[in-house]
Structure 1
Amino acid sequence: MPDPDLVSRALARNVKRLRTERGHTLDALAARSGVSRGMIVQIEQGRTNPSVATVVRIGDALGVSIATLLDYEEGPDVRVVPGDQAVPLWTGPKGGTGTLLHGIEAPGPLELWDWRMAPGEEYSAEPHPAGTVEILRVVEGELALVHGGRVHAVPAGSTVSFDASHAHVYRNAGERELRLTMVVSVPPPR
């Protein structure tokens, strides 16, 4: 796992750089993202460890992936991300994790995630920008995907895709660990 201070410094540098490149004031980014001006200031100064939802909202407002916000290397055309440098962004109360494995801009943000959830854990995701699609492949256990007010059972070996511009929940309603791989595709900013 990368050094948390390195990740925090990269987030601070990248948010400030991208905000400036796009000509957004702190107030404008706050309005676009729904994240308070004060929180953005703390992020840009590297004084806070924001939640996944906060980082997602800022990335969406800037039109970039979480991976771009957390990128602490300027790399070549081919970039290998060692397993110990993947960034865990969600930790469940029973030890589950949501880890960003890699991400690119293609032409919009494209992210690859590894999720592990203990029995009874769940993650509630806020709506992403219109046109965002998620694809989930259940490796172990059974996912209960809540989308559009319905629960969809997705057993091991199955893959599901859905419009992620609506609130959704990943839940492990089973009795053993749930493990899934997820791809998130966000359309490029207009």
Structure 2
Amino acid sequence: MEPKWLEWAKQMQAISQAGLEYSRDVYDIERFQQLRELSVEIMEQYTDVETEQIRGLFANETGYATPKVDVRGVVFRDERILLIREKIDGAWALPGGWADIGLSPKEIVVKEIAEESGYEARAVRLLGILDKKFHQHPPSPWHIYKLFILCEITGGEAATDTTETMDVGFFAEDALPPLSVDRNTEQQIQMLFEHLRNPHLPVFCD
């Protein structure tokens, strides 16, 4: 479970964001601006991120606050799972990223697999939807839903150096490399292997 301070900061940010979107009274707007600043101060106090970066990434959105969606592609070959090595931290993750406006989850995951691994793929079915706050990820300023979509390779070849990734590989469940835990955990990878062994399992959902 995420720490209480993070839960409070995200709730304050969401309330202030909605208030700034829908309020018309100047005094209410001022109060919601103050509440947003308090959420920024909490994030600054408990993280190493600079204030301006927090304000830009965490407290700069408009409209009603909703969860962000992270879409991950799950590809197996010879009982091994496809992982890409992230340039941002040098660790390994399922190919994927933020959901893009205008694209369906299947379209997003196919695009991300191609861009990050070099493989062409076909999306098959949804395996799971997880709420990041219930899993062993580092604290995040956003409320994030993670979608895991099973895919099949249809062509292409491994691209070992792309804009975002520096290596591509297939790994057995008992020989996983160091994982980028901000993106996926060992427990989540194990859940995916369970679906490989038993394709009739229902979609897992938090």
More strand by share: 1
TM-score, normalised on structure 1? 0.28
TM-score, normalised on structure 2? 0.27
More helix by share: 2
User: Greater Rg, structure 1 or structure 2?
Assistant: 2
Q: Determine which structure has greater relative contact order: mean sequence separation of CA pairs < 8 Å that are 6+ residues apart, divided by chain length.
A: 2
